[in-house]
Structure 1
Amino acid sequence: MQALTSAEIRQKWLDFWESKGHSVEPSASLVPVDDPTLLWINSGVATLKKYFDGSVVPDNPRITNSQKSIRTNDIENVGVTARHHTLFEMLGNFSIGDYFKAEVIPWAWELLTGPEWFAIDPNKLYMTYYPEDKETLALWQEVTGLSDEHFVPVEDNFWDLGAGPCGPDTEIFFDRGEKFQDLEDSDPEMYPGGENERYLEIWNIVFSQFNHMPDGQYLPLKHKNIDTGMGLERMASVMQDAETNFETDLFMPIIHAIEKRDQAQNYGANKTTDVSYKVIADHIRAVTFAIGDRALPSNEGRGYILRRLIRRAMMHGRRLGINRAFLSELVPVVGHIMEDYYPEILADQDFIMEVIATEEGRFLETISEGEAILSAEIDRLKADKENTLAGDFAFKLYDTYGFPLELTDEYLADANMATDHDAFNQEMQAQRERARAARKDSQGMGIQSEILGDIQVASQFIGYDHIAADSVVNALILDDQFVDEAGPGDLAYLTTEVTPFYAEMGGQVADTGFIQNEAGESLGRVVDVQRAPNGQHLHQVELLADIQINQMIHLLVDEKRRHAITKNHTATHLLHQALKDILGDHANQAGSLVNENELRFDFTHFGQVTDQELVEMEHLVNEKVWEGIQVQTIETSIEEAKARGAMALFGEKYGDQVRMVTVDDWSIELCGGVHVANTAEIGVFKIMSESGIGAGVRRIVAVTGEAAVNVFKAQEEILKSVAEYIKVQKPQEIMPRLQANAQENKALEQELSSLKSKANQAAAGQVFQDVQSKGDRRYIAAALTNKTMDDLRKINDEWKQGDYSDVLVLATDNQGKANLLVAVNDKLIGEGVKAGDLIKELAPIVGGGGGGRPNLAQAGGKNPAGIQDALSKVADLL
């Protein structure tokens, strides 16, 4: 067995399965597309569920991949064990109803032991199998020629996740040797499949041959499948003779880069600090790839996971003596390790580093807040002579401020205190339950769809060039059954040999329209079109008349609606490029909707979009519209398209041949949608709104053509109404008139303010003359008419300028409400008389409440009739 790099292992895997007729499926985004059951892509098969459940039939039933995946259900074990990771790569080979056990077992043995492949010593390999699966055992024995001790029956070797495909599996283990076994200790788990460090599982092959029905039955599948998984990190540890996954070329460059930061103790010197090295190395890989796929830190969902990973890595950095932001500096290291298969990391490293650096800065701020809060709580516990921190308090520090429990424990240990761990764990479990309830947890492939997958007749889409066509009905479905005819009132599904109707895809809604018979009579309305598993355009039709299989019909797309859709779709491409030109290359599509009324475009952007930027991108799109540029659609290879710099749209899957839509080589995108022939057809482009819809994801809604003109008309009517209201003849006269009115209003306000000031002074002069006494305490209690609280405060300002009294109480009735103000001088405050105490006694009398400082308080109430009673009570209170 020769030492292989991780890149060599990955490539040998893919090359081997290609030699067996498999198509290489590229590693998909970590953010699931159209799969709400998953928070992350968590396995190699997760992105292929559409093939296994029958919703899509693959071009080639033999598939292989190396899929980046994230699992965070046991994050606390990362760095502690030898092989737990958040991000990992799963090497897989899959058969969708094609080959089965008799083919895959010999191939597996050839790959593992063949001299041109992994060349592992056969005697170091052990295979487990499901005890009832004698066929698998016999195949392994025949292919390998190994002695019986190399084959271990294990009851757990049956892959079953509830309703859906399931079946036995076989696991392949590598014997790492006696050095990973205590020979003096009789360990009952020391066998392949047991919990031990000697026998390492490197590959699992699942034979999906039954359908687990909801009633508990296991029925044979019509199409048997193969689903396998080999962890690249584990295989690297085997091929590189590493003690754990972390001592491989996938992690050591990151660990060495961490060693060069601020701490003195290097990796390998101490088991405790080694854990911190491993946690940081693991987490920065996961964070880098996730942000590269446009998952961004936030307080919920996958964004919360990212925030937690970043903060957890930073806390482990503190344990190594790194008390500053440093994680973003490791992104290029990750990029260089993975560049053979994932060159996009280095290409996108500036954006990834910016996001991580911003999050690190936020954490440094919040951790300071957390430290202050914890310190205050420790002081309170000391004062109350307590020595246990409440579990819910510790969880709040963890959940809100990113404080790991172990850091809280360290602070408490210094104060001879401890945390209520049981209560903390209860809070943690409650959070997990909330997260679990928030999404449907499904790992299975789903029960296979039969009826749609059985549509085998050909159907060609000709809608790029035609909006009408004559064709033959070659499949007719009613109530989930193939039928020969359907009639009025039925909601039927049909396919035709050719169709001009676009099926919903890539954000563009489906065409609608009509079907007619040969005489031109209406047969029904096409209300939706979707792609069937084998790629046919499946028309949903509300029937108005009888229709039969093999009938010739006329298909007619709603032309006006289609043209409105194509305008919006081409405008979406122009907007996408304008976003990149104005905001930067990181502004990638994160979803879209294109219909006849508007276009909605979601994009990644870590920050606000200014009004000026919106103006610039709107103008840029309109410039391309007004230039009247030909929109070219080119059929080409995926390699040529990438070489031209074509952008791939969110969630789309592309084959070897693709459609490349170009506008003056300025906007180049891979797209299967329908577009205008010339940008001038768009007419005009208008942005209606821009908003944030999630952490790092923003949305622009815009309109084109007639819809945009209607917006301008509505705005013009508003301007005409304003012009009429302010009595000008033309809209262009509105602003001069408004400016003149504003100046006039300002002058009037100044005059009014001056008059009110004089009135307040006059009122103050009268009020200050009516001084009363209670003992040696002087007070003024006066009611004023139609004054505001601001007026009362200005009279108070006058009162403070002279020695008129010790207490001032003012009340006013304004627009049916009562306002009270109480002021107390320093002399009475020293004697214990406070304005806030007085107002609390007086406010209820006017049906309200209030408060304030010792020298000034105010209140409002709903009962102006109580003002005189309130003023009469002042003497009693004094």
Structure 2
Amino acid sequence: MEQLTSVEIRQKWLDFWKTKNHQVEPSASLVPVDDPTLLWINSGVATLKKYFDGSVVPDNPRITNAQKSIRTNDIENVGVTARHHTLFEMLGNFSIGDYFKSEVIPWAWELLTGEEWFAIEPERLYVTYFPEDKETLKLWQEVTQLSDDHFVPIEDNFWDIGAGPCGPDTEIFFDRGKKYQDLADDDPEMYPGGENERYLEIWNIVFSQFNHMPDGEYVPLKHKNIDTGMGLERMVSVMQDAPTNFETDLFMPIIHAIEKMATTSKYGEDAKVNISYKVIADHIRAVTFAIGDQALPSNEGRGYILRRLIRRAMMHGRRLGITKAFLYQLVPVVGEIMSDFYPEVVSEADFIMEVIEKEEERFLETINEGEDILTGEIERLKAANETVLAGEIAFKLYDTYGFPLELTNEYLESANMTTDEEAFEAAMQAQRERARAARKDTKGMGIQSDILGDIVADSQFVGYENVKSEGTVNSLIVNDQIVEVAEAGQTAYFTASETPFYAEMGGQVADTGVIYSLDGKKLGDVIDVQTAPNGQHLHEVTLVETLKLNDDIQLVVDEKRRHAITKNHTATHLLHQALKDILGEHANQAGSLVAPKQLRFDFTHFGQVTDEELERMEHIVNEKIWDAIPVETIETTIEDAKARGAMALFGEKYGDIVRMVSVDDWSIELCGGVHVANTAEIGVFKIVSESGIGAGVRRIEALTGEAAVDFYNQQEHQLQAIANQVKVKKAADILPRLESQQAEIKQLEQELESLKAKANQEAAGQIFQNVHTVNGTSFIAEHLPKREIKDLRHISDDWKQADYSDILVLATDHDDKANLLVAVKPEAIEKGFKAGDLIKQLAPLVNGGGGGRPDLAQAGGKNPAGIKDALSKVSDLL
């Protein structure tokens, strides 16, 4: 068996399936598009769900891919086991209602054992199958001619995740040889499919032949499917005869780069140290690819996972003696390994490195905070003669400051202490439950519906040039049934041989309008248009007259609404390029809405956007509008468009022929939407808001044309109302008037503060006379009504300047709240009195809490009525 590189293995997989007429689907972004059920793309089939559930019919029912994926549900096992990863590549071949068992099993054997492909010795391969699936067993036996001991029935070989497509599966195992576990050990798990290191699963082929219905019934699928998965990392370890996935060309260059930075032992010299090398190598791959796909570190969702991966890798770096930011320096190494199939990792390297370095620098500050907290807890435990750190605190160190439990335990071991690991695990489990509840089922395909998939009538979209056209109704649906007649009052769905109605796509909302008979009678209102699985524009219409299959009709788009949409769509393109000009090339689209009344544009950016930057963007867009630039739209090849510098929008899938929209060769994008003919048609562009919407994504909302003018008019009316309120005639006089009023207010506030200071002095003069003594310790405990906490602090400052008493306790009530302040002189502290201890015992009496230093502490509460009891208790406490 030849030792192939990871690049060769991936390419041979794709090349083989191309010989079987498969279409190569490019690896999609790790960030799911239009799929709220997934946090990350987590399998090779995840991006193909639309084909399996029937919502889209693929151009070719035979598909193959190498799909990057992320799973973080068992992150603690990464680096500990031989084959756990956060980022991995899944090689897959798929049949959407095309070939099935009799084709895929011979092909699988050809790929695995063929001389020009993987050339694995047949005797080293074993197969498992579902016991009731005798057809699969028979096919394997006929194709391979292997002895019976190479075929193992396994009850678990049935792929079923609830409602949706399901069926038996077959798994192929590779025998790594006796050196990985000798048969003489008499291990009951020593068989293909058992828990052992000798027989390694390399490929799973699912025969999707049933629909699992919500009522539990299994109904045969009309179209049977094939869904397979081969983990590239695992296959590379087999082909390179590596002990684990990490000793392969996918990871070793990263590990060698880490060795150059580490001050501890090299990789392979210490099993415990090896874990840190593996964790770092694994995590930097995941982080690099995720950031390249526009996910950014944050405190929620995907961003939280990225932040956690970076911090976990940094903590393992510290175990290797690396105390500075270093992960970002590994990005070019990852890029070099993966560049053959993922060139974008190289092209985006500078941006990815910048994001990681900033996150590392931020965490270096956090680590110090965490160490301070842990050191403080150790000191507190020592003072209390305790030896167990609370699990909740260990979890806070882990969750907030990135301290793995084992690191916390290392600190504690040096002080002969331990962690309440049971409570820590309970907090961890609670977090997992919160994460699980925060998202929907991550795997279901959905029940297949054949109604829309069966519509194959041609439908031509002519809306780029026209807002009116004539066409023939060539499919008609009512109540999820294909019909020949739809009655007045019903909501129906239809396709037409020709239509000017744009179907919702790429962020642009659908057209609305009216359909008429050819003699001018209104038949109904088109309220929505979506794309059917086979690509036709499917119109939703509320009927006022009968509509029949094969009727000739006139389709009329709401032209004013369409024009407003086109203005906003072209303005979106201009804004996208302005963002890149001002913020940088990393500001990529992460979603959009192009509607008649407004546009919304989401983009990736890891910092704040200043008012000045927004103003500059807005000005750039308006300049392009004022320059009255023709908007050029052409159809060309994808290669030509990319050569001209066209931007491919996030998450969109493009065919060989694409529609390219260009404005002065400044903004060039691939786009299937409808645009104005000249930028001057937009009229005016106005940004109305900018905000962060989480996970390193920000949002701009803007207006154009009539909507922008209406916005300016509203602003003018508001300014005039303000002018009337501050009693000036013109809007231009508002600011001088406000400045004058602010000066008056400031003077009045100064006079008020002066009066307060005098009142505090007078009050202090009185209360400083009311000194009490208990066991040789003097104290003052007084209630000053209607004061603020800062007034109490001012009085305590005066008290410190003279020898009135050893301890001062002040209380006030203000706005239905209570405040307490305790001050203690150094001499009283030496006797054992501490302000913080006293305040903690007084605060509950006002239904509150507080704390502070030994010499000064304060508390707040919601029960002013308890002030009298709190002051009375001072004598008892002393």
Please confirm whether the aligned pair reaches a TM-score higher than 0.5, indicating the same fold.
Answer: yes
- Alpha carbons 1:685, 1:704 under 8 Å: kept: yes
Alpha carbons 2:579, 2:617 under 8 Å: kept: yes
Matched residue SS, 2:219: strand
Question: Is 2:201 the partner of 1:201?
Answer: yes
1:586 alignment counterpart: 586
Query: Which residue in the other structure is 1:649 paired with?
Result: 649
* Separation in 2, partners of 1:804, 1:214: 80
Q: Report if aligned partners of 2:779, 2:809 keep a CA contact under 8 Å in 1.
A: no
Counterpart in 2 of 1:220? 220
Q: 1:818·1:861 contact (CA, 8 Å) conserved in 2?
A: yes
Structure 2 residue aligned with 1:464: 464
- SS of 1:571's equivalent in the other structure is helix
* CA deviation after TM superposition for structure 1 residue 184, in Å: 3.3
* Alignment pair present for 1:37 and 2:32: no
Distance 1:41 1:88 in 2: 11
Cα distance change on mapping 1:128 and 1:862 into 2, 3 Å: closer
Distance 1:590 1:21 in 2: 34
**In the alignment, residue 129 of structure 1 is paired with which amino acid?**
Y
Change (3 A) 1:787 1:552: same
- Aligned-partner Cα distance in 1 for 2:825–2:222: 93
- Which segment is superposed worse, 74-83 or 246-255? 74-83
Cross-structure match for 2:339: 339
Residue aligning to 1:244: 244
Do 1:772 and 1:780's aligned partners in 2 also have CA atoms closer than 8 Å? Answer: no
For 1:447, what is the secondary structure of its paired residue?
A: coil
Aligned to 2:120: 120
What's the counterpart of residue 633 of structure 1? 633
Match for residue 559 of structure 1?
Answer: 559
Partner amino acid, structure 2, of 1:81: T
Structure 2 CA distance for aligned equivalents of residues 652 and 481 of structure 1: 31
Larger radius of gyration: 1
Q: SS in structure 2 opposite 1:173?
A: strand
| Structure 1 counterpart of 2:181 | 181
Deviations 1:605-636 (A, max 9, x none): 11111111111111111111111111111111
In the alignment, residue 141 of structure 1 is paired with which amino acid? Q
Of 774-783 and 89-98, more deviation after overlay is shown by 774-783
Partner of 2:2: 2
Of all paired residues, the percent bearing the same amino acid is: 72
Task: Name stretches of at least 5 consecutive residues in structure 1 with no aligned partner.
Answer: 872-878
Counterpart contact for 2:254–2:281, Cα < 8 Å: yes
Measure, in 1, the Cα distance between the counterparts of 2:188 and 2:807.
Answer: 88
Contact 2:824–2:835 (CA under 8 A) maintained in structure 1:
no
Corresponding residue number in structure 2 for 1:380 = 380
Indicate the larger mover: 634-643 or 54-63.
634-643
Deviation at 1:364, TM superposition (A): 2.3
Q: Tell me the distance in 1 between the aligned counterparts of 2:513 and 2:337.
A: 53
TM-score (norm 1): 0.89
Residue 505, structure 1, aligned to residue 505, structure 2? yes
Paired position in structure 2 for 1:293: 293
What residue is the counterpart of 1:696 in the other structure?
696
Q: Could you list the per-position Cα deviations for residues 571-605 of structure 1 after superposition, in whole angstroms to 9, with x for gaps in the alignment?
A: 11111111111011111111111111111111111
The answer on whether the counterparts of 2:311 and 2:360 sit within 8 Å (CA) in structure 1 is yes
Residues 142 and 415 (structure 1), Cα distance of their counterparts in 2 relative to 1, 3 Å cut? same
Aligned to 1:138: 138
The verdict on how the C-alpha distance between 1:762 and 1:209 changes in structure 2, with shifts beyond 3 A counting, is closer
CA distance in 2, matches of 1:644, 1:17: 32
Deviations 1:784-831 (CA, angstroms, capped at 9, x unpaired): 9x99999999999999999999999999999x9999999999899999
1:810 and 1:313 map into 2 onto residues whose CA distance is 51
Q: Which residue is equivalent to 2:602? A: 602
Could you say what the CA RMSD is over the residues aligned between the two structures, in angstroms? 4.3
8 A Cα contact 2:818 2:863, kept in partner = no
Deviation at 1:509, TM superposition (A): 0.9
Which residues in structure 2 correspond to 1:308-347 (within 5 Å)? 308-347=308-347
**What are structure 2's unaligned runs of at least 5 residues?**
872-878
C-alpha spacing 1:793/1:349, structure 2 compared with 1 (3 Å): closer
Q: Secondary structure at 2:261's aligned position in 1?
A: coil
Q: Is the 8 A contact 2:796 2:823 kept in 1?
A: no
Residues 500-539 of structure 1: matches in 2 within 5 Å?
500-539=500-539
Structure-2 change in CA distance of 1:282 and 1:822 (3 Å): closer
8 Å contact from structure 1 (residues 851, 859) kept in 2? no
Q: Which residue of 1 aligns with 2:94?
A: 94
CA deviation string 1:218-263 (max 9, x = no partner):
2221001111111111111122222221111100000000110032
Pairwise CA distance, 1:435: 1.7
Between 535-544 and 153-162, the greater mean CA deviation after superposition: 153-162
Any idea what SS the aligned residue of 1:184 has?
A: helix
Distance 1:154 1:766 in 2: 87
Q: Deviations over 1:19-51 (max 9, x none)?
A: 211111100111111112222111100100100
AA at the equivalent of 1:514: V
- Spell out the pairing of 1:842-857 with structure 2 (5 A cutoff): none
Residue number in structure 2 paired with 1:874 = none
**Aligned residue identity for 2:412:** L
Residues 1:570 and 2:574 aligned together: no
Deviates more, 1:296-305 or 1:26-35: 296-305
Would you say 1:397 and 2:402 are equivalent positions? no
Q: CA deviation at 1:423?
A: 2.7
Deviations 1:55-88 (A, max 9, x none): 1000111111000011122222221222111111
Q: Which moved more, 1:848-857 or 1:427-436?
A: 848-857
Paired AA for residue 477 in structure 2: I
Q: Which residue of 2 aligns with 1:661?
A: 661
Q: Is the 8 A contact 1:167 1:210 kept in 2?
A: yes
Q: Which moved more, 1:712-721 or 1:4-13?
A: 712-721
Cα distance between partner residues in 2 of 1:235 and 1:20:
21
Scaled by the length of structure 2, the TM-score of the pair is: 0.89
Supply the AA of the counterpart residue of 1:102: S
Amino acid across the alignment from 1:37: T
Shift in Å, 1:858: 12
CA contact (8 A) 2:507 2:593 kept: yes
Question: Which residue identity does 1:593 align to in structure 2?
Answer: L
Q: CA deviation at 1:323?
A: 2.4
Residue of structure 2 in register with 1:165 after alignment:
165
Alignment match, 1:74: 74
Letter of the 1:367 partner, please give it. Answer: I
Tell me: CA distance 1:230–1:760, structure 2 relative to 1, closer, same or farther (3 Å): closer
Relative distance call for 1:146 and 1:368 in structure 2 (3 A) is same
d(CA) in 1 for partners of 2:820, 2:391: 46
Q: CA deviation at 1:529?
A: 1.0
Instruction: Please state how far the C-alpha of 1:702 moved relative to its aligned partner.
Output: 0.7
Map of 1:546 onto structure 2: 546
Give how far 1:688 is off: 0.5
Alpha-carbon contact 1:506-1:650 (below 8 Å) kept:
no
Q: Which amino acid aligns with 1:640?
A: D
In the alignment, the residues of structure 2 paired with residue 705 and residue 339 of structure 1 have an alpha-carbon distance, to the nearest angstrom, of 45
- Residues 292, 345 of structure 1: 8 Å contact kept: yes
Contact 2:760–2:791, Cα closer than 8 Å, also in 1: no
From the superposition, tell whether residues 478 and 240 of structure 1 become closer, same or farther in structure 2 (CA, over 3 Å): same
Counterpart AA for 1:663: V
Residue type matched to 1:161 in 2? I
Query: More displaced, 526-535 or 725-734?
Result: 725-734
Determine the C-alpha separation between the residues in 2 that align with 1:111 and 1:505: 39
Q: CA deviation at 1:848?
A: 13
Q: What's 1:875 paired with?
A: none
Partner-residue secondary structure (3-state), 1:475: strand
Cα 1:615–1:820 shift into 2, 3 Å = closer
Please state how far the C-alpha of 1:859 moved relative to its aligned partner. 11
Q: Which amino acid aligns with 2:561?
A: R
Question: What letter corresponds to residue 358 of structure 1 in structure 2?
Answer: K
Secondary structure, counterpart of 2:98 in structure 1: coil
Distance 1:141 1:560, change over 3 A: same
Structure 1 residues 430 and 788: CA distance shift in structure 2, 3 A: closer
Question: For the Cα contact (< 8 Å) 2:331–2:349, is it kept in 1?
Answer: yes
CA distance in 1, matches of 2:779, 2:514: 91
Structure 1 residues 683 and 825, CA gap change in structure 2 (3 angstroms): same
- Structure 1 residue 722 displacement after superposition: 3.8
